[in-house]
């Protein structure tokens, strides 16, 4: 009975989970389909869907027969109402995001499509231009903007001096003003912006490059010698221009007593000393000014005093053990040569293996290393 109840509950839980997943997916799909694009983009999407329908129906349904018969049928089918109906039945179905808006356009301007299909295919082959620009008036020709499709500044060859973008270009929106690329300014992007200098100019092109990091404000050329003023952390040098100030070399320490200074371009960094140090000039136990409590100086390096004592104790104990084994072997040798030889061989092997293992650095665990990399 309990087992049956458990199975029923499990099935109900899975059904609820599946229903929830399906519901969430349906909601996501509905939200995508209800997405609203700007008018011009929506029109482009609609025309792209229509053109895909034209591609799918380009060969008709006349394959496999006589070639001349196929050609004749295709000629009559190419601009037929039958083909248009087939395209319209599938239009917008290939679109996921903005599908509802696509259907709305189709319903609203179906007559414009039919007019082009039957009367203007030959004279107006560009459907986008005919539909979106000239009739529906949701778009403008490229590099034109606004309700009246006015040309952008600098049209046709130097729009925004080729250093920016025309606001609203290709749409019935926008004001046609230039949105300049980084490093450029001015009404038509024909000037260098703050902290940029003119590295090249001719009748058709302007190139602005960024000032050196050492410059405070504008500059006249590349590198630190082109700076008009130096940024904080830099000082003006007559020959080299703005030179980096080495804050780490100042008489007054810039870092804390348990830190060391690292100079960087225009600034500096304070890094923590090794834990074995009580003051340091760099990273590591060999760069200590003084050793911290619990550490002692050995071979110009601060090491753990307790650990060092333990090492010495282990060292002495080890060699005393070796000595004791050798003495025991010598005593046995006086009583039984054969037994002493066997024990001596065993002692020799033991000492060799022990020394080898103690002096061989541990092999890193490559499996754990790879796992850590993956994480």
H helices of the chain, in order, are: 2-33, 39-56, 67-78, 81-90, 99-108, 110-115, 127-128, 305-335, 337-359, 366-374
Mean pLDDT per 10-residue section of the chain, whose length is 375 residues: 53 52 62 88 95 86 49 70 91 91 94 94 94 96 96 94 96 95 96 96 93 95 95 93 93 92 94 94 93 90 81 71 76 73 77 69 46 42
How many CB atoms neighbour CB 150 within 10 A? 14
What pLDDT is stored for residue 140 in this prediction?
Answer: 97
What pLDDT is stored for residue 371 in this prediction?
Answer: 46
Q: How far apart are the first and last CA of the chain?
A: 46
Give the CA radius of gyration of the chain. Answer: 42
What pLDDT is stored for residue 23 in this prediction?
Answer: 47
Q: Cα(176)–Cα(160) distance, rounded to whole angstroms? A: 10
What pLDDT is stored for residue 341 in this prediction?
Answer: 75
- Give domain limits for the chain: 30-135, 144-210, 247-293
* 44: helix, strand or coil: helix
Residue with tokens 């189709």: 106
Residue with tokens 């760069």: 287
Residue 297: strand pairing partners: 302
What pLDDT is stored for residue 368 in this prediction?
Answer: 47
What pLDDT is stored for residue 359 in this prediction?
Answer: 63
pTM: 0.63
Residue 184: strand pairing partners: 192
Return the closest-CA partner of residue 59 out of 84, 77, 82, 80.
77
Give the pLDDT confidence of 227-280 residue by residue, as tens digits.
Answer: 999 999 999 998 999 999 999 988 888 999 999 999 999 999 999 999 999 999
Q: Cα(145)–Cα(149) distance, rounded to whole angstroms? A: 5
């Amino acid at each position: 009975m309990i087992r049956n109840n458990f199975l029923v509950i499990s099935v109900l839980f899975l059904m609820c989970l599946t229903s929830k997943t399906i519901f969430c997916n349906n909601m996501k799909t509905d939200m995508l389909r209800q997405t609203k694009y700007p008018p011009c983009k929506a029109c482009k999407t609609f025309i792209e869907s229509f053109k895909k329908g034209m591609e799918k129906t380009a060969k008709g349904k006349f394959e496999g027969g006589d070639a001349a018969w196929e050609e004749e049928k295709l000629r009559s089918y190419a601009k037929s109402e039958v083909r248009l109906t087939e395209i319209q039945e599938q239009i917008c179905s290939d679109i996921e995001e903005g599908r509802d808006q696509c259907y709305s356009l189709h319903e609203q301007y179906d007559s414009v499509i039919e007019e082009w299909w039957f009367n203007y295919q030959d004279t107006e082959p560009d459907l986008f231009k005919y539909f979106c620009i000239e009739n529906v008036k949701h778009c403008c020709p490229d590099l034109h903007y606004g309700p009246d499709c006015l040309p952008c500044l600098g049209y046709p060859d130097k729009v925004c001096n080729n250093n920016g973008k025309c606001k609203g270009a290709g749409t019935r929106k926008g004001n046609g003003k230039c949105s300049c690329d980084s490093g450029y300014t001015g009404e038509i992007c024909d000037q260098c912006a703050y902290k940029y200098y003119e590295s090249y100019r001719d009748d058709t092109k302007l190139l602005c490059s960024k000032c050196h990091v050492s410059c405070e404000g504008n500059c006249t050329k590349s590198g630190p010698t082109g700076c008009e003023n130096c940024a904080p952390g830099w000082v003006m040098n007559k020959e080299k221009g703005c030179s980096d100030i080495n804050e780490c070399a100042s008489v007054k320490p810039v870092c804390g007593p348990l830190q060391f200074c690292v100079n960087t371009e225009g600034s500096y960094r304070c890094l923590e000393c090794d834990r074995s140090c009580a003051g340091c000039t760099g990273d590591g136990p060999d760069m200590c000014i003084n050793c911290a409590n619990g550490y002692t100086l050995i071979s110009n390096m601060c090491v753990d005093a307790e650990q060092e004592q333990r090492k010495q104790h282990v060292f002495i104990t080890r060699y005393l053990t070796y000595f004791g084994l050798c003495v025991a072997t010598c005593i046995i040798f006086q009583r039984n040569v054969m037994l002493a030889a066997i024990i001596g061989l065993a002692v020799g092997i033991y000492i060799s293996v022990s020394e080898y293992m103690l002096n061989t650095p541990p092999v890193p665990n490559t499996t754990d290393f790879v796992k850590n990399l993956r994480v």
